[in-house]
Chain A
Amino acid sequence: MKAPAFDYQRPRDLAAAAAALRGASGNAKLLAGGQSLLPMLNLRLARPGILVDISRIEELRGIEDRGDALRIGAAVTHAELEDRPLAGGAMLREVAHGIAYRSVRNRGTIAGSMAHADPAADWPLALAVLGATLIVDGAQGRRTMPAGDFMQGPFTTRLADGDIIIAVDVPKLSRGARFGYYKFCRKTGEFPEASAAAVFDPETKQARLYVGALPGAPQPLDDLAYDLAERGLPALTEAAVDRAVAQIPNLEPIARRMQRAAVTRAVRQAFAA
Chain B
Amino acid sequence: MEDQVKGQSSGQGIGARVPRKEDARLMRGRGNYVSDIILPNQSEVAFLRSPLAHAVLRGITKPQGLEGSVYVAADLTGVKPMEAPCTVPNYKISVQHPLAHEKVRFVGELVAMAVAPTRAAAEDICERIEVDLDELPALVDAHEARRSATRVHDAWDDNLYLTLNYDNGFDEHARNAPVVVEREINMSRQAMVPLEGKAIVADWDHRADQLVVYTSTQVPHVIRIGLAEMLGIGEGQIRVIAPDVGGGFGYKCVLQPEEVCVAWLALTHKRPFRYVEDRREHLIAGANSRQHNYKLKAYADERGRLLALDAEVTIDGGAYSNWPFTVALEPGQATGNLPGPYDFRGYRCKTYCVATNKPGFLPYRGVARTSVCFAIELMIDAIARKVGREPWDVRNENLVQPQAMPYNNVARKHYDSGDYPKSLLAVRQDIDFETWRARQKQGEADGRRIGIGFATYCEQSAHGTSVFAAWGLPLIPGYDQATVRLLPDGSLEVRVGIHSHGQGMETTLAQIAHEILGVDISRIRVVHGDTGQTPFSTGTYASRSIVMTGGAVAKTCEALVPRLLAIGAHLMQCASNTVSMMPGRVVGPQASVSLKDIAEAWYRRPQLLPPDVDVNGLEATVGYRPQVDTGVFSYASHAAVVAVDPEVGDIEILDYVIAEDCGRMVNPMVVDGQTMGGATQGIGTALFEESPYDANGQPLASTFMDYLLPGPTEVPKFRIRHSETLSPYTAFGIKGMGEGGAIAPPAVLFNAVNDALRGLGVEVAETPLTPRRLLAAIEGARPKEPQP
| Residues of chain A having any CB pair with chain B under 8 Å | 1-5, 39, 43-44, 184, 186-191, 193-194, 253-254, 257-258, 260-262, 264
**9 A-B pairs with least C-beta separation:** A261-B647, A2-B120, A188-B713, A1-B278, A184-B648, A254-B775, A261-B648, A258-B648, A187-B714
Residues of A within 8 A of B708 (CB): 186-187, 190
Given contacts A187-B714, A188-B713, contact A258 B649 (CB under 8 A): yes
Residues of A within 8 A of B602 (CB): none
Task: List 5 other contacts, CB 8 Å, given A44-B127, A187-B688, A257-B648.
Answer: A2-B118, A4-B127, A43-B280, A187-B713, A261-B647
B711, A1: Cβ atoms under 8 Å? Answer: no
Cα distance, A260 to B775, chains bound together (Å): 13
* Contact of B647 (CB < 8 Å), options: A3, A190, A257: A257
Given contacts A2-B120, A254-B779, contact A194 B280 (CB under 8 A): no
| Interface: B776 (CB within 8 A) | yes
For chain B, residues 731 to 784, give those with C-beta under 8 angstroms from any C-beta of chain A: 770-772, 775-776, 779
Which one of A186, A188, A262 has the greatest number of beta carbons of chain B within 10 Å?
A186
A1, B770: Cβ atoms under 8 Å? Answer: no
| Interface: B123 (CB within 8 A) | yes
CB distance from A113 to the nearest CB of B (A): 16
A188, B775: Cβ atoms under 8 Å? Answer: no
A188, B714: Cβ atoms under 8 Å? Answer: yes
A39, B703: Cβ atoms under 8 Å? Answer: yes
Residues of A within 8 A of B649 (CB): 254, 258
Cα distance, A194 to B649, chains bound together (Å): 11
Residues of B within 8 A of A5 (CB): 120, 124
The 26 listed contacts between A and B (C-beta, < 8 Å) are A1-B123, A2-B118, A3-B120, A4-B120, A4-B123, A5-B124, A39-B703, A43-B703, A44-B123, A184-B648, A184-B771, A186-B708, A187-B708, A187-B713, A187-B714, A188-B714, A189-B711, A190-B708, A193-B648, A257-B647, A257-B648, A257-B775, A258-B649, A258-B771, A258-B775, A260-B647
* Contact of B119 (CB < 8 Å), options: A2, A39, A258: A2
| Interface: B600 (CB within 8 A) | no
CB distance from B331 to the nearest CB of A (A): 32
CB distance from A100 to the nearest CB of B (A): 11
B647, A258: Cβ atoms under 8 Å? Answer: yes
Residues of B within 8 A of A261 (CB): 645, 647-648
Which one of B120, B279, B280 has the greatest number of beta carbons of chain A within 10 Å?
B120
Residues of A within 8 A of B280 (CB): 1, 43
* Contact of A187 (CB < 8 Å), options: B118, B278, B710: B710
Q: Per-residue CB proximity of B696-721 to A under 8 Å, as 1/0? A: 00000001010010110110000000
What residue in chain A is nearest B124 (Cβ atoms)?
A4
* Contact of A184 (CB < 8 Å), options: B118, B650, B713, B776: B650
Residues of A within 8 A of B688 (CB): 186-187
B648, A194: Cβ atoms under 8 Å? Answer: yes
Q: Per-residue CB proximity of B638-651 to A under 8 Å, as 1/0? A: 00000001011110
Cα distance, A258 to B650, chains bound together (Å): 10
Cα distance, A194 to B775, chains bound together (Å): 13
Cα distance, A260 to B447, chains bound together (Å): 14
For chain B, residues 271 to 322, give those with C-beta under 8 angstroms from any C-beta of chain A: 278-281
B711, A257: Cβ atoms under 8 Å? Answer: no
What residue in chain B is nearest A193 (Cβ atoms)?
B771
Which one of B123, B279, B710, B776 has the greatest number of beta carbons of chain A within 10 Å?
B123
What residue in chain B is nearest A188 (Cβ atoms)?
B713
Cα distance, A253 to B650, chains bound together (Å): 17
A1, B775: Cβ atoms under 8 Å? Answer: no
Given contacts A1-B280, A257-B647, A261-B647, contact A186 B771 (CB under 8 A): yes
Interface size range of chain B in the complex? 20 to 34
CB distance from B653 to the nearest CB of A (A): 12
B279, A1: Cβ atoms under 8 Å? Answer: yes
CB distance from B279 to the nearest CB of A (A): 7
What residue in chain B is nearest A1 (Cβ atoms)?
B278
Residues of B within 8 A of A2 (CB): 118-120, 123
What residue in chain A is nearest B714 (Cβ atoms)?
A187
CB distance from B282 to the nearest CB of A (A): 10
CB distance from B731 to the nearest CB of A (A): 42
Cα distance, A2 to B775, chains bound together (Å): 39
A262, B279: Cβ atoms under 8 Å? Answer: no
CB distance from B528 to the nearest CB of A (A): 31
Residues of A within 8 A of B127 (CB): 4, 44
CB distance from A236 to the nearest CB of B (A): 14
A253, B281: Cβ atoms under 8 Å? Answer: no
Residues of B within 8 A of A186 (CB): 688, 708, 770-771
Residues of B within 8 A of A253 (CB): 779
Cα distance, A86 to B560, chains bound together (Å): 73
* Contact of A257 (CB < 8 Å), options: B118, B710, B713, B779: B779
Residues of A within 8 A of B120 (CB): 2-5
* Contact of B776 (CB < 8 Å), options: A3, A44, A254: A254
Residues of A within 8 A of B119 (CB): 2
What residue in chain A is nearest B702 (Cβ atoms)?
A43
Residues of A within 8 A of B771 (CB): 184, 186, 193, 258
Residues of B within 8 A of A43 (CB): 280, 703
What residue in chain B is nearest A101 (Cβ atoms)?
B711
* Contact of B281 (CB < 8 Å), options: A1, A188, A191, A254: A1
Cα distance, A39 to B278, chains bound together (Å): 13
Q: Per-residue CB proximity of B616-651 to A under 8 Å, as 1/0? A: 000000000000000000000000000001011110
Residues of B within 8 A of A260 (CB): 647
Cα distance, A5 to B127, chains bound together (Å): 13
Residues of A within 8 A of B703 (CB): 39, 43
Cα distance, A262 to B647, chains bound together (Å): 9
CB distance from A237 to the nearest CB of B (A): 15
Cα distance, A260 to B647, chains bound together (Å): 8
CB distance from B619 to the nearest CB of A (A): 47
CB distance from B104 to the nearest CB of A (A): 20
Cα distance, A44 to B771, chains bound together (Å): 31
Given contacts A187-B710, A187-B713, contact A262 B648 (CB under 8 A): yes
Cα distance, A260 to B771, chains bound together (Å): 14
Q: Per-residue CB proximity of B54-84 to A under 8 Å, as 1/0? A: 0000000000000000000000000000000
CB distance from B33 to the nearest CB of A (A): 18
Residues of B within 8 A of A39 (CB): 703
Residues of A within 8 A of B279 (CB): 1
Cα distance, A184 to B705, chains bound together (Å): 16
Q: Per-residue CB proximity of B17-30 to A under 8 Å, as 1/0? A: 00000000000000
For chain B, residues 110 to 153, give those with C-beta under 8 angstroms from any C-beta of chain A: 118-120, 123-124, 127
Cα distance, A264 to B447, chains bound together (Å): 13
Cα distance, A273 to B778, chains bound together (Å): 32
B647, A188: Cβ atoms under 8 Å? Answer: no
Residues of A within 8 A of B647 (CB): 257-258, 260-261, 264
Cα distance, A5 to B645, chains bound together (Å): 47
CB distance from A98 to the nearest CB of B (A): 12
Residues of A within 8 A of B775 (CB): 254, 257-258
CB distance from B121 to the nearest CB of A (A): 9
What residue in chain B is nearest A184 (Cβ atoms)?
B648
What residue in chain B is nearest A2 (Cβ atoms)?
B120
Which one of B118, B647, B705 has the greatest number of beta carbons of chain A within 10 Å?
B647
CB distance from A182 to the nearest CB of B (A): 9
A187, B711: Cβ atoms under 8 Å? Answer: yes
Cα distance, A117 to B281, chains bound together (Å): 27
Residues of B within 8 A of A1 (CB): 123, 278-281
Residues of B within 8 A of A44 (CB): 123, 127
Residues of B within 8 A of A4 (CB): 120, 123-124, 127
B711, A188: Cβ atoms under 8 Å? Answer: yes
Residues of A within 8 A of B705 (CB): 191
CB distance from B577 to the nearest CB of A (A): 66
CB distance from A90 to the nearest CB of B (A): 24
CB distance from B124 to the nearest CB of A (A): 6
CB distance from A78 to the nearest CB of B (A): 18
Cα distance, A257 to B124, chains bound together (Å): 45
Q: Per-residue CB proximity of B456-472 to A under 8 Å, as 1/0? A: 00000000000000000
